Amino acid sequence: MNNGIRIRPARNAELPTLARLIENQLPDMMAGRKRPNNIEGHLASLIPDKSLILATRGNRLAGLTAIDLDHARILACYLDPETASPETPRELFKAVEQLALSFGIRRLECQVKKQVSGFIQSMGYSLAADHAEDKTPVLSKDLLEGADPELVALIKLQDELGIPADYGVRHRMCLQTEAKTLIPVGRDIFDRDQRLVPAAATAWTRLQTAASGHAIELKLVSAFRGVTYQANLFRRKLEHGQSIDEILAVSAPPGYSEHHSGQAIDVTTPGIKPLEQEFGETRAYRWLRSNAGIYGFKETYPRDNRHGIAWEPWHWRYHHRPGL
């Protein structure tokens, strides 16, 4: 990155240091909000969503920003004047805008100190038409202006289907990039050809082979599903009289399904009805709980998951290729 500045999410281990810096040293560009009594605890609440973003130069902190996803609001933008480059706040704002868009947020606002209002406006933020000169500036930005055309089309599709605009934020689910490079991984239990991205395909083959060595048969129910497939699924259900709430209770909306990534699989084992929680009572599931991580797979929706999605013991996503 220019000027040696790197933008990345904060880590848990950094929170005590960050809290002390915010309390004692770093100037904040934001206005109108009181600092929480427990700064470190507040920062910790931002970690799971990667909504606390740092700018670093080497091992030094150049600045940070944070976003309140539930209210689509930038909470803070702290800078170290000795380490930050002139572009650091722009890079931080760009990162937080990309994060907001990934959750489906269309407009982002921030309340800033008057002396930096002009600078924030230079990044595409605007004052409300009825803004009074004696008031602290509140600025907002339409994130869809200038966004990737595919993303804009996807959000329009979601609106057409009646998907709530806050679905991503409410369930803490990010929009998924549709995979472009896919390879065959055989047929599923319905005799349909299935595909995954190459790394996930290799990992799935290894996982299935390892399970077989323990007399466990894992069978595919589903792998890659594109946005168009998911949208048509919703359309058919709507045409048959189901409400959007009924559909969302069992299916992720187009754009949010992990199957778009080509890294997610639904599995079953003989004698079990597919896509039912009874799979969670099988020896196959218990084996997956103990061994899937070795091959890079993780259960996305375990019991009482943070997304508020019903338990899906059959759904696993590949996250990395382990060094086997």
pLDDT of residue 324: 46
Give me the pLDDT at residue 1, please.
Answer: 45
**Residues 150-204: tens digit of each pLDDT:** 999 999 999 999 999 999 999 999 999 999 999 999 999 999 999 999 999 999 9
Please give the model's pTM, rounded to 2 decimal places.
0.91
- In the chain, pLDDT over 70 holds for what percent of residues? 96
Say what the pLDDT of residue 136 is: 83
3-state secondary structure the chain: CHHHEEEEECCHHHHHHHHHHHHHCCCECECCCCCCCCHHHHHHCCHHHCCEEEEEECCEEEEEEEEEHHHCEEEEEEECCCCCCCCHHHHHHHHHHHHHHHCCCCEEEEEECHHHHHHHHCCCCEECCCCCCCCCCEEEEECCCCCCHHHHHHHHHHHHHCCCCCHHHHHCCCCCCCCCCCEEEEECCCCCEEEECHHHHHHHHHHHHHHHCCCCCCEEEECCCCHHHHHHHHHHHHHCCCCHHHHHCCCCCCCCCHHHHCCEEEEECCCCCCCCHHHHHCHHHHHHHHHHHHHCEEECCCCCCCCCCCCCCCEEEECCCCCC
Q: Each residue's pLDDT tens digit in the chain (324 positions)?
A: 457 899 999 999 999 999 999 988 899 998 877 778 899 999 999 999 999 999 999 999 999 999 999 999 999 999 999 999 999 999 999 999 999 999 999 999 999 999 999 999 999 999 976 666 667 889 999 999 999 999 999 999 999 999 999 999 999 999 999 999 999 999 999 999 999 999 999 999 999 999 999 999 999 999 999 999 999 999 999 999 999 999 998 899 999 999 999 999 999 999 999 999 999 999 999 999 999 999 999 999 999 999 999 999 999 999 975 544
Using alpha carbons, list the distances in angstroms from residue 309 to 40, 79, 306, 319: 29, 38, 8, 20
Predicted pLDDT at 32: 79
- Report all structural domains of the chain as residue ranges with CATH numbers, in order of start: 2-147 (3.40.630.30), 165-318 (3.30.1380.10)
